[in-house]
């Protein structure tokens, strides 16, 4: 068992406990209103998870260790052929990174999720996913048969497992948003990974503006230069924030955002 990637021990509640027991969110997001928290998870480094969540829910992501990366993909729950579209989202908002106020738009021009809270100001949309060949070349191969829960997992494999639970496959895997990671471009046009971008305690929140399928992986960013496999844990709390109001910061951030939110509002009425 690696000292850098200890085996994860599940903290399962007794059968008689409430739905959100143990209440992980009280450790990393105690300011959330207790009566609105639906559930919380601590996803170990290299882990993966997925949910089907309703419009108006919010996911609070907190880096529990420095150097976290959390890759997120979004699909419309009513029809997963509608999904997060990175080029349209960036082009519409004239940006090359995400922060508070930005909206993740679908390929149908609807707001799927909005960045309502953010302590970092920069989350990477370009870096894609760590795949198995790159992972083995950089970190070596530790398989489940030998290392059990201390195995090395790639972000691509983790997300394929998760979207497969919802009837999706390799052809459906899209470019993720890499929360907590910063990638800039130098004067020669090369991607530059900022290794010290996210301290422990860094936070970002996505409000869901449609009913969506959300899948996440906490595997390392593919441009992370570290030579040992030591991805950080991420705390995730789901709470009932409610849909975007008329004066919502994300709706008012840009005219394009207002149109995307209007499209989601109309769809919700149908």
Show the tokens assigned to 138.
């950089």
Structure tokens at 270: 């149908």
Task: State CA 15 to chain mean position distance.
Answer: 29
Walking along the chain (270 residues) 10 residues at a time, the average pLDDT comes out as 45 53 90 95 95 97 97 97 97 96 97 98 95 92 68 94 97 97 91 94 98 98 94 97 96 96 92
* Whole-prediction pTM: 0.90
Of 156, 228, 234, 226, the closest CA to residue 198 belongs to: 234
Whole-number Å distance between alpha carbons of 32 and 250? 20
| CA–CA dist 104, 84 (Å, integer) | 6
pLDDT of residue 145: 59
Nearest CA to 177 among 95, 76, 60, 97? Answer: 97
Would you state the pLDDT for residue 35?
94
């Amino acid at each position: 068992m690696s000292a850098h990637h200890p085996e994860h021990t599940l903290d399962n509640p007794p059968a008689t406990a409430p739905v959100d027991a143990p209440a992980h969110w009280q450790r990393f997001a105690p300011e959330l209103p207790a009566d609105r928290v639906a559930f919380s998870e601590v996803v170990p480094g290299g882990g993966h998870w997925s949910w089907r969540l309703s419009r108006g829910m919010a996911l609070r992501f907190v880096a529990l260790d420095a150097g976290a990366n959390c890759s997120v993909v979004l699909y419309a729950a009513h029809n997963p052929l509608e999904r997060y579209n990175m080029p349209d989202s960036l082009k519409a908002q004239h940006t090359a990174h995400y922060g508070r106020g930005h909206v993740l738009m679908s390929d149908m021009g609807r707001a799927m999720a909005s960045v309502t809270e953010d302590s970092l100001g920069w989350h990477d949309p370009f870096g894609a996913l760590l795949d198995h060949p790159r992972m083995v070349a950089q970190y070596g191969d530790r398989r489940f048969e030998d290392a059990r829960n201390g195995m090395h997992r790639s972000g691509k494999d983790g997300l394929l497992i998760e979207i497969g639970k919802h009837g999706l496959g390799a052809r459906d895997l899209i470019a993720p948003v890499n929360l907590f990671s910063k990638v800039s471009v130098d004067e020669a046009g090369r991607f530059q990974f900022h290794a010290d971008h996210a301290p422990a305690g860094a936070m970002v929140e996505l409000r869901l503006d449609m009913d969506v399928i959300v899948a996440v992986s906490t595997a390392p960013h593919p441009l992370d230069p570290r030579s040992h496999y030591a991805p950080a844990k991420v705390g995730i709390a789901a709470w009932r924030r409610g849909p975007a109001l008329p004066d919502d910061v994300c709706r008012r951030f840009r005219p394009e955002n207002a149109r995307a939110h209007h499209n989601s509002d109309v769809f919700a009425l149908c």
